Amino acid sequence: MILCDRRIFQCLGVLVVCGWISGCATATKPFIVVVADKSLTQVKGVYHKVNKGETLWRIAKTYSISVEDISQANRIPSAATIEENQLLLIPGADVVKEIIPVQVAGVKDSDYWWPLKGKVVSYFEERKGAHVNLGVDINGTEGDVVKASREGRVVFVDHLAGYGTTVILDHGDGFYTVYGHNDRSFVALGSYVFRGEKIAQLGLDAQGAFVHFELRKGDIPKNPLHYLPREM
């Protein structure tokens, strides 16, 4: 498990800024739902039925709310992903919306893909002693290629304490992805890469061979499983 204090990324953030400036039918009308939450007694919303390929990230963007709002309202565990035909409460929504497929021409594809095909061996916010994992660790084999999860500009490529050889991409909307625990990188600082483009290669050490993948909004870590599709 790669572990890091937020202050490291905050310092790194300064460098970045300075350097690169299961289911029944879907409800169709709003209704009142009682949510078992200490801070909320009643929440107005609708249920959205998850279709194949949809992610919390795309659903949240469609309804113009945060991923965290949906996750909290539906009590989605850190280690869980949403499934096809699952019903999700969309708090605050008054109508069920259609999720536009990413294949539609003219629609900018801002979805995230898995940087590596493999088993998640350490989850977001998983504790190991006094430390907390700020991303997910995806198991692989020495020499496996790590790919960009989403298109963006390389704003860091170097060795980072606690992370090893690391690549960080700025996606231009306040979101960054971090790829750590690599043996080598294939990209240069300032270069622009597209989703699926190879950016690094896994090495092997006493911890094994895996990519440490983080997704952040600014310096705030987000659960990558809420942004990645179920299928790898």
Residue with tokens 């209704």: 31
Residue 65, C-beta contacts closer than 8 angstroms, at least 6 positions apart = 90, 91, 92, 93
Residue 102 is predicted with a pLDDT of 57
Joined together, the tokens standing for residue 217 give 């909004």
Residue 23 is predicted with a pLDDT of 33
Q: What is the pTM assigned to this prediction? A: 0.69
Averaged over successive runs of 10 residues, the pLDDT of the chain (232 residues) comes to 48 40 31 40 81 86 89 86 88 87 53 94 88 94 96 96 94 96 96 96 91 95 91 64
Residue 206 is predicted with a pLDDT of 84
Element containing residue 136 per DSSP (H, E): strand 136-139
Confirm if 178 and 168 have CB atoms less than 8 A apart.
yes
Please name every residue paired with 205 in a beta bridge, in sequence order, or none if there are none: 208
Rg from Cα positions in the chain: 19
Round to whole Å and give the CA distance between 227 and 124. 12
Task: Using alpha carbons, list the distances in angstroms from residue 135 to 97, 125, 180, 218, 223.
Answer: 30, 7, 10, 14, 7
Element containing residue 73 per DSSP (H, E): helix 67-73
Using alpha carbons only, give the angle 137, 65, 193 rounded to the nearest 5 degrees. Answer: 45
Residue 174, C-beta contacts closer than 8 angstroms, at least 6 positions apart = 217, 218
Q: Phi and psi dihedrals of 103, rounded to 5?
A: -80, -10
Which CATH number applies to 6-20+110-226: 1.20.120.1200, 1.10.3210.10, 3.40.50.720, 2.70.70.10? 2.70.70.10
Residue 17 is predicted with a pLDDT of 35
Classify each residue of 114-139 as buried b or exposed e, where b means 16 or more C-beta atoms within 10 Å of its C-beta: bbbebebebbbebeeeeebbbbbbbb
Joined together, the tokens standing for residue 4 give 């890091």
Report domain extents, the chain. 6-20+110-226
